[in-house]
Amino acid sequence: MSDVIARPDVFLPYQQRLWVAIDRSRVVVEEKSRRTGFSWGAGAVAVGYAGRARGAGGMDVFYMGYTLDMTREFIDYVASWAKAMAVTADAVEEFLFADPERPEKDIKAFRVRFASGFEVVALPSVARALRGKQGLVILDEAAFMDDLDEVLKAALALLMWGGKVVIISTHNGETNPFNLLVNDIRAGRKPYALLRTTFDEALAEGLYQRICYTRGDAWSAEAEAAWRAEIISFYGDAADEELFVIPSPTSGTFIPGPLIEARMDAGVPVIRLERDAGFTLAPEAMRRADIADWCADALAPVLATLDPATPHCFGWDFARKGDLSVLLVFALARDMMRRCVLALELRNVPFGQQRQALWYVLDRLPRLRAGKMDAGGNGAQIAEETVQQYGATVEAVMLTEPWYREHMPALKAAFEDGTVVIPRDREIGDDFRTLKLIRGVARVPPARREEAGKRRHGDAAIAGVLAIAASRAEPEVYGYQGGVRPRGMFGADADRARWRDTPDPDEDAPRAGGAGIVPALRGGWA
């Protein structure tokens, strides 16, 4: 027997990814659809580890399912895989698991012993069953275990001795410990590997074709579509959770109101600018002069107070009519506190003047580390121009469901952990309160709020999640380039005149918040 056992070629790509993740990580979490063959694939993983010599990374494997039928089925998979992979092993052995705390309730368990000296043991899903054990733990359909928190605590204790933990499950509600664990990983609280496989993703990677091959049926796209429809119909209203990895929602806001208020500070400046419809039709020079005056009067005094030694980041949510464009600027303290130092709201401001006000701020942000901008719809142009102006420090973001799924947990975690400060402002607070779980993902609902004839659509909350995402981004590498002189170094009055007299704000060389400092992009500036 070889010391290293290769992954079977019959694995589908998503099953291969799970095994690769287990090889590379100590803790792996897979949120999955039903009927995708992960338990079957996990049986091969168990043989791969228990069948190796110790020097090649071999170890005992402990499997837990939430029913006796699952443990019996899994151990049969192990026996079949051992034969298919030509790994020497004994026959399946049935034994009684003796619970020292409940000696009157011995539980049936199963094992397969390997020539390597290791074994695969299928155990009941009680935390006590893992005491004193060492090796690889596989928790199957973990969300349905009676006391998952305690089981996880016992399983993760094995990591002290070089073990591994694999947690595989479909979802069982958004408040289930499994989903809370998934969100903790996405929020960066847990340094674990996270994989996700929906029913449609499994189909795209050959699930139904494999089923046809196993049955001896001919595959066709029409047959696959019919089978997909049949499976979705079978699950009915539960299909989102059972097949498409969307935990069933509970009512209420994503971030509770009292928690939002606890993170507010009245000292954070909120600056608002609104122009009437006639402003759009004014000559460009007049519009530019008006905004230059306003920036020098309203923004310059705030920006002058920013600590030049502290890194800053920002999030920008764009709107042209009806809703608001919102800029939130965060200072990143040494203790990782993300303190909002400026909230800027623009209503009914033309595209060019939005860019003018935005760049006025960005030019003066000390140590601009990162920024993320809404690049959907009409926001694409300003986002693209800002990326061109400031380089890879800024990212244009398409706000899709996968993006929200990835980054909203980090926003909530910042509020829960007390690592964010936002303005003490009723309207901004209400924006954060509008966030709700829709199909298992936090976002702003389609309905808009209106107050005194003016609409808001969670604009500050979107700027907030963009800013939190920017604060977690890897900082760009900077290099020195002489001859670039940013706006703002001559004082507000000189700035005011310069903005009046400059016909095109694109005339300046790219810059990133400091004299002569520009992002060192791949290949350098053209």
Please write the tens of the pLDDT for every residue from 359-403. 999 999 999 999 999 999 989 999 999 999 999 999 999 999 999
- In the structure, what pLDDT confidence band is assigned to residue 416 with cuts at 50, 70 and 90? very high
* Amino acid at residue number 1: M
The SS3 of residue 422 is: strand
Please report the sign of the dihedral spanned by the C-alpha atoms of residue 174, residue 177, residue 180, residue 181: negative
- In the structure, what pLDDT confidence band is assigned to residue 128 with cuts at 50, 70 and 90? confident
CB contact burial 173-191 (16+ within 10 A = b; e otherwise): ebebbbbebbbbbbbeeee
- In the structure, what pLDDT confidence band is assigned to residue 26 with cuts at 50, 70 and 90? very high
| 104-108 average pLDDT score | 70
Q: Is the pLDDT score of 479 beyond 70?
A: no
What are the phi and psi torsion angles at 379 (to 5°)? -75, -10
| 155-169 average pLDDT score | 92
CA 155, CA 140: separation in Å to the nearest integer?
13
The percent helix, strand, coil of the chain (3-state, each to 5) is 40, 20, 35
pLDDT at res. 263: 95
Q: How many angstroms separate the Cα of 329 from the Cα of each of 2, 158, 251, 403?
A: 57, 43, 31, 20
Q: How many angstroms separate the Cα of 231 from the Cα of each of 34, 62, 236, 242?
A: 10, 31, 9, 10
Q: How much is the pTM?
A: 0.75
pLDDT at res. 445: 86
Which of 4-8, 13-17, 268-272 shows the lowest per-residue confidence on average (mean pLDDT)? Answer: 4-8
User: 491's torsion region: left (phi>0), alpha (psi -120 to 50) or beta?
Assistant: left
pLDDT in tens, 43-59: 999 999 999 999 999 99
* Secondary structure element (H or E) that encloses residue 271, with its range: strand 270-274
Report yes or no: 316 and 346 within 8 Å, Cβ to Cβ. Answer: no
- In the structure, what pLDDT confidence band is assigned to residue 292 with cuts at 50, 70 and 90? very high
Alpha carbon 426 to its chain's center: 28
Q: Which of 325, 420, 338, 336 is nearest to 381 (CA)?
A: 325
What are the phi and psi torsion angles at 360 (to 5°)? -60, -45
pLDDT in tens, 187-226: 999 999 999 999 999 999 999 999 999 899 999 999 999 9
CA 346, CA 339: separation in Å to the nearest integer?
21
> What does the DSSP 8-state code read for residue 253?
B
Q: At what angle do helices 177-186 and 401-417 cross, to 10 degrees?
A: 90
CA 346, CA 328: separation in Å to the nearest integer?
12
Q: Is the pLDDT score of 254 beyond 70?
A: yes
Q: Is the pLDDT score of 147 beyond 80?
A: yes
CA-atom Rg of the chain in angstroms: 28
